[in-house]
Amino acid sequence: MNTAAIEHLPRVQAGLHYLEPPGEKPRWLEFEPPAGVPRTTAVYREHTVAIRDVRPVAATLSLEHEGFQLLTAPTSADFDDEDSIRTRYYTETSALLRKLTGASRVVVFDHTIRRRVPGATDRSTGIPRQPVPRVHNDYTVNSGPQRVRDLLGDEADVLLQKRFSVINVWRPIRGPVQDAPLAVTDAQSVAAQDLVATDLIYPDRTGEVYYVKFNPEHKWFYAPAMRDDEIILIKCYDSANDGRARFVPHTAFVDPTTPAGAPPRESIELRTLVFYG
């Protein structure tokens, strides 16, 4: 991405929640903890950063360099119908990613619908999944390959001999999104030491994500008023370690330009394994 062009982009100043440098490996419980047990051992601090409007440079972005893309991608799926999501939307997304990346195989392995409830805490009983207001990346150097092993069993050893990536596909369900929009970083602005492996503990397994320490070099972007015929592709992992984008930290944030009375954000994200060669 052209540095001079970035500096002239419209932007907002907003607070993002970064991990404070930990004394030991942090952990997060993906279930209601017992009384007296904290949900997480991570400590966050808000840092005010510039978040640039990516629309003027969207055509120059690539998954290989910046690690994210904004695309127009109409869908015929009904997001109030689980069967429509798992059949029609999964199929559409798989075809789009194969065409865009040249992948030999795409596996859509799950999705999350988020409907923001003001003041609600994520994972609370009876509450829809909430936007994540912490800077994070969904996979690490360890958990990316492990996800392939978990999902594809006997095929995994052969598949892991070739390059693969984990790509999230984020879409508004009802646009335009003005409340709690998604911000993403240019992967090239993220240093390895910014990423802190964190245990994500479920009732039946332990995953691993990256939480992220503050670095003033991070370059943040968002697409104002994203429509429901638009998607953001986010590369959360790439097995190739050759200078291309591997990890793209992202987060929901409070946009100071959000008008009063804007509808709470509703969005869907698909998680995919993309195999090459």
Q: Per this entry, what is the length of the chain?
A: 277
**High-pLDDT (> 70) share of the chain, %:** 100
Q: Count how many Cα atoms sit within 13 Å of the Cα of residue 261 in the half-sphere of its side chain.
A: 0
Distance CA(143)–CA(120), nearest Å, equals: 29
Domain count, the chain: 1
Q: Is the pLDDT score of 126 beyond 90? A: no
Encoding tokens for residue 175? Answer: 């646009």
3-state secondary structure of 268: strand
**High-pLDDT (> 90) share of the chain, %:** 91
Q: What pLDDT is stored for residue 161 in this prediction?
A: 97
Q: What pLDDT is stored for residue 159 in this prediction?
A: 97
Distance CA(125)–CA(95), nearest Å, equals: 35
Distance CA(129)–CA(116), nearest Å, equals: 7
The average confidence (pLDDT) of the chain is: 96
* pLDDT tens readout for residues 29-41: 988 899 999 999 9
DSSP state at residue 36: T
Q: Write the burial class of residue 98 (CB in 10 Å: 0-12 exposed, 13-18 middle, 19+ buried).
A: middle
Structural domain including 38 reads 3-275
* pLDDT tens readout for residues 50-61: 999 999 999 999
Reported confidence tier of residue 3, pLDDT bands at 50, 70, 90: confident
| 266-275/105-115 β-pairing | antiparallel
Encoding tokens for residue 125? Answer: 């009983």
